[in-house]
A = this chain, B = another copy of it.
Amino acid sequence: MSSFEDADTEETVTSLQMTLYHPRHQRSGIFQSIKFCNRETLPTSEVVKFGRNNSTCRYTFQDKQVSRVQFSLQVFKKFDSSVVSFEIKNMSKKTNLLVDDKELGYLNKMDLPDKCLIRFGDYQFLVEKEDGESLEFFEIQFFLSIRPLLQENKWLPQKPTPECGSYSPCSIQNNSPMEVGENEW
């Protein structure tokens, strides 16, 4: 048998895609330490922290209004499921966190829906989960939006369409908001 035939069956990994928006990013580079489009593989044992302190947080925001640790994400497995899920916990004493319409105070936690909008201050993060088989690893990938993800108190469930030129998930675009359609990010 060749090494190809003898190798373990490759497992797919659960992927968390996060599309980030902040109105001051282009002016102040709030997300400058985030590598957009890069798929990062992490062990399911890791509690992934987001905030201002780069010694405790894996993903940091260049913004003094952000708490040292703003929130954390971690993997767990539901009792009735074969795939992993995510839990979110608000670690900020100062700012409440919104997950869709649910408001989380300091140390409040909840299971993250497969698709949801996380908000705190002017930050808007659209989170989309794609299930994989692995219980050992998961992937996280960031995209950038130059348009608010929340419009008229409703976030849009459609996928962005990069070919229309109004949204490119892997780069910062210079299009002014007026140049893109009302239903695109």
Contacts and interface: CB of A to CB of B under 8 A. Distances in A.
Contacts of A109: 76, 87
Contacts of A108: 76-79
- Interface residue tally of chain A, by bracket? 20 to 34
How many copies, total?
2
A91 B45 contact: yes
Interface string A50-92: 0000000000000000000100000111110000100101010
Contacts of A105: 77, 79
A135 interface: yes
Interface in A108-142: 108-109, 135
Interface of A: 44-45, 47, 69, 75-79, 84, 87, 89, 91, 93, 105-109, 135
